[in-house]
C-alpha cells in the first residue's frame, strides 16, 4: 500500500479537490461493481488491484511494468558488489533517494533522512523495496489513496481478506472476462 497521504482538502487547489472527489467516487463505483457482480467496461492495472487488496507491490511488478528500469536501477543494485559498482560509477555513495520519473521529476527521499543514508550490502534490499514502491506510486500517492478510500468505504479490506481473493481475480471481478467469438470477427 502506498505510504498514506490523505485526500482531504487542506491547502489543495479546487481543481485537485475535484479530481480527488472523482477518484473517491470511482473507488466507490468499483466496489459496487464487485459487490453487485456487474463488471465495468474498462480494465484495471494489476498493481491497482494489489493496492485494493493490500498486497505489497515490489520488484516483480517493476520488472513486469518496466524491464529497462528494473535492469538498470534494481538488478544492478542486487547483484554481488552491485552497490560498490554503482558508487564508483556515480562518484559518490548511492543514497535512499528515488529515481526521477514522469510523475515525480525530482528525486525524493525514500525514507526520512534518506538523502544522508548510504546504500550498503546490508540495507540494499530495503532500498530496492522502497525504490520500487516509489517508482510505482511516487507522484500519484494521494490519487491512489483517494481511490482506495472510496473503494474501502463500500468494501472494507476486512471484508475482502477472508475471501483470499488474489489481484488477478479482483481484476476479473472488476472488468469481467472478454469473450471473443471467432465467427463475429469473420
Say which residue the cell 472510496 belongs to.
150
Per DSSP, 10 falls in state T
pLDDT number for residue 9: 47
pLDDT number for residue 181: 61
Rounded distance, CA 48 to CA 148, Å? Answer: 9
Say which residue the cell 472478454 belongs to.
178
Bridge partners, residue 97, by sequence? 109
pLDDT number for residue 96: 93
Rounded distance, CA 73 to CA 145, Å? Answer: 26
Q: Strand, coil or helix: what is 2?
A: coil
pLDDT number for residue 3: 44
pLDDT number for residue 44: 87
pLDDT number for residue 121: 92
CA nearest neighbour of 31 among 184, 138, 159: 159
Say which residue the cell 544522508 belongs to.
116
In the chain, which stretches have pLDDT less than 50? 1-7, 9
Amino acid at each position: 500500500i502506498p505510504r498514506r497521504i490523505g485526500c482531504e482538502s487542506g491547502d489543495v487547489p479546487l481543481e485537485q479537490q475535484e479530481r480527488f472527489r472523482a477518484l473517491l467516487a470511482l473507488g466507490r463505483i468499483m466496489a459496487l461493481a464487485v459487490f453487485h457482480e456487474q463488471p465495468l467496461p474498462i480494465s484495471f492495472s494489476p498493481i491497482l488491484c494489489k493496492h485494493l487488496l493490500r498486497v505489497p507491490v515490489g520488484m516483480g511488478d517493476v520488472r513486469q511494468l518496466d524491464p529497462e528500469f528494473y535492469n538498470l536501477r534494481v538488478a544492478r543494485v542486487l547483484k554481488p558488489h552491485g552497490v560498490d559498482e554503482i558508487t564508483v560509477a556515480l562518484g559518490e555513495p548511492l543514497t535512499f533517494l528515488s529515481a526521477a520519473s514522469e510523475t515525480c521529476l525530482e528525486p525524493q527521499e525514500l525514507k526520512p533522512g534518506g538523502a544522508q543514508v548510504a546504500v550498503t550490502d546490508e540495507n540494499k534490499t530495503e532500498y530496492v523495496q522502497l525504490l520500487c514502491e516509489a517508482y510505482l506510486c511516487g507522484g500519484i500517492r494521494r490519487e491512489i489513496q483517494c481511490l482506495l478510500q472510496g473503494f474501502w468505504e463500500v468494501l472494507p479490506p476486512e471484508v475482502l481478506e477472508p475471501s483470499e481473493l488474489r489481484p488477478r481475480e479482483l481484476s476479473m471481478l472488476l472488468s469481467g472476462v472478454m469473450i471473443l467469438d471467432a465467427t463475429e470477427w469473420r
